[in-house]
Amino acid sequence: MMKWIGRIFSALFYTGVLVMIAVIVFAKASGGEPELFGYQLKTVLSGSMEPGIQTGSVIAVKKAEDPMSFQPGDVITYLENENRVTTHRIVETVKSGQHVMYITKGDNNEEADSQPVLAENVLAAYTGVTVPYIGYGLNFLQTNNGALLLIIPGILLLMYSIVTVWKAISGIQVAVKKEKVS
For 29-43, letters b (16+ CB in 10 Å) and e give eeeebbbeeebbbbb
Going by pLDDT thresholds of 50, 70 and 90, the confidence category of residue 85 is confident
pLDDT at 27 over 80: no
- Cβ distance 72 to 34 under 8 Å? no
Residues serving a catalytic function are 46
Q: Which of 75-89, 146-160, 161-175 has the highest mean pLDDT?
A: 75-89
Ordered alpha helix ranges (H), the chain: 2-30, 134-141, 144-148, 151-181
Mean pLDDT of the chain: 81
pLDDT (mean) for 79-96: 88
Going by pLDDT thresholds of 50, 70 and 90, the confidence category of residue 74 is very high
